[in-house]
Chains A and B, each alone.
Chain A
Amino acid sequence: MSDMPRILSGNFDVPNCHRIDVYESRGGYAALRKTLPETLGTKVQEEVKAAGLRGRGGAGFPTGVKWGFVPKDTGKPVYFLVNADESEPGTFKDRFILDYDPHLMIEGTILSCFAVNCHDAFIYIRGEYGWLVDRVQEAVDEAYAKGYLGKNILGSGFDLEMIVHKGAGAYICGEETGLINSLEGKKGQPRIKPPFPALVGFLNCPTIVNNVETVASVPWIMSHGAEAYRAIGTERSPGTKLFSLSGPVKRPGNYEIPLGLPLRELIFGEDFGQGMLDGIELKACIPGGSSVPVLTAAESMEVNLDYEDLAAKGTMLGSGGCIVIGSDAHMPEVLKVLLQFYHHESCGQCTPCREGTGWLDMLIGRMLKGKGHQRDLELLERVCAGMAGTTICVLADAAVMPARSFISKFKHEFEALLPKGIEPEDYVPTAHSAEQSS
């Protein structure tokens, strides 16, 4: 581990590194100073593409490719929105960047805006991180004072304005078109696609939305080169990622890991989680934030933390919010906590999610109260089937994945909640239901 460069977390333990003088004393803004006056924005795009950087917010889409979707000559301004709305349960990695190394994000944003010829950037920070909004604003002011923002940055002729925007409490604003709508002053409800934001985004102009961690990776890539970035991680998942580790482990926290690190290392490794708290065994693990399928303890011990291996094992890397579940946990109760979250956060726009998240929450709730109906598990699955893939955005799928995976992998715990024997009268299906498909 000692030979892995700390691309993202290098300044986390440095006191006062949120201040520009400390940041610069540690080599901060060197990448910007080298790149802007000498290079074209398109070269930055190529470098990031060659490095294989993938979106770190959850989707994992290749960043350089996404930037490439911005059309060159629309005559409209291009907008760059940094998604600091971090709200995925189990995830608190962007918080550390905002808190301990905001200039890393700012420098990365400036480079990224340069790459797509954008002159207006917004940093959208979740409202609950109120004190970090202030901190980032101070850092932005420092950057302006130093000439890293504003007009003709470093004599390159490149202009960039940066606004720090405070959210007001809505998980759905982390969805990129939800974020765009929220920034426009509307409710943060996602948009139907097509059109895609790179063509029609903020104020109907071409827009790129990138996660904090994604832009924070850019300065290192520019100062060390794509090859060096590719030398870390795996072939299809190059580079490092911050993983948030939580749950009953000895050392929860944020860890920067090379992609491909075994999950068991993150949980039990001496440099990382250092294993379970005394008296608790590993029972399950949600590796990438609550919206991805859960892994059993056995499965957790066999998987590596990169996009491909997690997908191959039926889950996802997602946001990198690794939630460890111990033997003291009751899986139906944990699922209830998650389903009530999605119910609370559904924006309400489209029917399957609006009604489905409420229904799932109600069902698991009544099962836990001992008031479940015999066929509730079947009904839960039917609700899930009506939600998955039928909605405007993936919040519905985000509710369905834990629901389906928890129930299928820990079925006995759920079945134990249901009444035995005779079915309740009000749930007798009509005889012709199966044939009645018009």
Chain B
Amino acid sequence: MAKITIDGSEHDFPAGMNLFDAVAQARGEALPHFCYHEGLSIAGVCRMCQVEVEGVPKLLIACNSKVQEGMVVHTKTERVQTTVKQILNFHLLHHPVDCPVCDQAGECSLQDFYMKHGLYDAAIDIDEKLAKGKVKPIGAHVMLDAERCVLCTRCTRFTSEVTKTHELGIFNRGNHSEIDVAPGKTLDNAYSLNTVDLCPVGALTSRDFRFKRRVWWLESTDSVCNGCATGCNMQIHHSDGKAYRFKPRVNRDVNDWWMCDHGRLLYHDIQVEERLEGPLVRESESGLALPGNWNTAYAVIESKLSELGEARKIYLVGSPHCTLEELYAFSTLLPAAGAEFLGYRLAGSERGIADDLLLDGDLTPNAKGAARLGLREFDATALAAAAGRNAILIVLNNDLAALSDDCAKALTGFGLVVHIRDRADRTARLAHVTLAGRNFAEKAGTFVNRKGRAQAIERALEGPKNARDELRIIRELGSLLGHSPVWKDAADVRREMATRHDGLAALAGAIPTAGVDLDARQADEVGHG
């Protein structure tokens, strides 16, 4: 460790550590900067993070300096402050004052630093601002405004170093330098929207988010992406009960600073038109699934149960989209009443293409969690074998009919199909009763990602008033079958689950925001035992 002094106070940091990071830790806030980013190479081009280091005649950029024993650093001297203001001035020189129409307003580094450090006399005195490409869609998801660009090179470094797709470049020279895609190219890699996160100003903005909401109205709730088994950490940005975008949350053990475009845009999926406001009940004459109420829906189930009596056979199908808590509750409570759990997933379903960045070939968020609970997959044959007049099928959060025609066919053979889902999907058209559930933005719960990391999601949105949390529905079905659980909510479920499964013991309490590596804990315990 090296002892260094920053603005008069002593600190211990590892020798060789990046001075920018050290100062950020010491002060609790980063030095002004555009080009520095932990996930990218050091560019040193914005010249904003300059500090005075005793013994060095020139100011040094902190991002390209290393902690050395005895270093004395000053970040707030007159000389540093004047320099920062002058450089900010240079950044503003040709910058169009687009703030009233720029999506970045409210989360713009240029705005923020100007407010903190800026010059207030009218020193932006030039005859004409340079015109560059404006309102140029450079890809399916990204809009470019080259006039706003401060040429920090974060986006070009991202496409060179992270995705290695090289779509972006900086062309020309001097103050005619301009970022753009190469002629005839588009920014169309699977991670293009990360450049929007990286861009400190409004040069690269999301086309999907364009003009939809001013960012100061948005609230943020931590969550985890449901698009695949990677489980990228993210935030749900929402306002007035509506989600407007997903943004990644840093987690060095899962997704670093990034998210894929597909995962990001899945926020649309929690607001689909087919969203159920309440249960559906199928009318026997027309065969149509029509909006009903909970009493009617449960009455249909009760009636079937009493009709079948002892002859009844109840089968359960779960889903790798369910939370751990839901899967545990579903696979323990109802089987206690005699139901048979067929499986948590149709084998081979929901596969995609993986890559060596973030995309996983399993397009579901909790297959690993289901496996840890000891649950198995099932196939269409098993489903067909279970079908019969006396058979009741309860499907939790799984659009079986859309996954396979064989499954759809098998469904029609059941005496009663109860579907629990947040939307009117294909299975809902075939089910006798569809109980309106919630999507992942409307509940608390846990997912286990492909690497065995348990991660928590939190409730961001209220959702329709007449939809019900899946755990509540499971409890109510349990009581229809004569079994009531001890647990009341997700935390309770998790506690019980943790005591019943060794491998999930770590989940007894609250789960930290960075998640829990279930295998690491296991190794610890094995060591102690």
Chains A and B share a contact (CB less than 8 Å): yes
Contact with B along A143-167 (1 / 0, CB 8 A): 0000000000000000000000000
Contact residues in A for B86 (Cβ distance below 8 Å): 352, 382, 385-386, 390
> Would A437 and B82 count as touching, CB distance under 8 A?
yes
> Would B176 and A348 count as touching, CB distance under 8 A?
yes
Most buried by A among B87, B117, B122, B151: B87
> Would B172 and A386 count as touching, CB distance under 8 A?
no
> Would A389 and B58 count as touching, CB distance under 8 A?
yes
Contact residues in A for B58 (Cβ distance below 8 Å): 389
CB-contacts of B237-268 with A (<8 A): none
Q: Which of A7-15, A111-119, A427-435 contacts B (4 or more CB under 8 A)?
A: A427-435
Q: What's the nearest-Cβ distance from chain A to residue B199, in Å?
A: 16
Most buried by A among B44, B90, B130: B90
Most buried by A among B59, B120, B174: B174
Q: Which of B45-53, B354-362, B389-397 contacts A (4 or more CB under 8 A)?
A: B45-53
A87 within 8 A of B: no
> Would A350 and B123 count as touching, CB distance under 8 A?
no
Contact residues in B for A392 (Cβ distance below 8 Å): 44-45, 47
B18 within 8 A of A: no
Contact residues in B for A379 (Cβ distance below 8 Å): 123, 125
Contact residues in A for B189 (Cβ distance below 8 Å): none
> Would B122 and A428 count as touching, CB distance under 8 A?
yes
> Would A351 and B47 count as touching, CB distance under 8 A?
yes
A304 within 8 A of B: no
B273 within 8 A of A: no
CB closest chain-A residue, reference B150: A351
Q: How far is the CA of A151 from the CA of B100 in the complex (A)?
A: 67
Q: How far is the CA of A438 from the CA of B80 in the complex (A)?
A: 11
Contact residues in B for A251 (Cβ distance below 8 Å): none
> Would B42 and A348 count as touching, CB distance under 8 A?
no
A244 within 8 A of B: no
Contact residues in A for B146 (Cβ distance below 8 Å): none
Interface of B is mostly: loop
Quick one: given A343-B174, A345-B174, A359-B126, are A386 and B90 in contact (CB under 8 Å)? yes
CB closest chain-B residue, reference A389: B58
Q: How far is the CA of A371 from the CA of B126 in the complex (A)?
A: 11
Q: What's the nearest-Cβ distance from chain A to residue B88, in Å?
A: 9
> Would B46 and A433 count as touching, CB distance under 8 A?
no
Contact residues in B for A126 (Cβ distance below 8 Å): none
Q: How far is the CA of A427 from the CA of B42 in the complex (A)?
A: 38
> Would B64 and A194 count as touching, CB distance under 8 A?
yes
> Would B173 and A348 count as touching, CB distance under 8 A?
yes
CB-contacts of A389-438 with B (<8 A): 389-392, 426-430, 432-433, 436-438
A52 within 8 A of B: no
Residues of chain B at the chain A interface (Cβ within 8 Å)? 42-47, 50, 58-59, 61, 64, 78, 81-83, 85-87, 89-91, 93-94, 116-117, 119-123, 125-127, 130, 150-151, 170, 172-177
Can you identify 18 A-B contacts, CB atoms within 8 angstroms? A192-B44, A346-B174, A347-B174, A348-B172, A348-B173, A349-B177, A350-B45, A351-B46, A357-B174, A358-B174, A382-B86, A389-B58, A390-B47, A390-B59, A392-B44, A426-B125, A427-B125, A437-B82
Top 9 nearest A-B pairs by Cβ distance? Answer: A386-B86, A433-B121, A348-B177, A192-B44, A355-B90, A358-B175, A346-B174, A429-B121, A348-B174
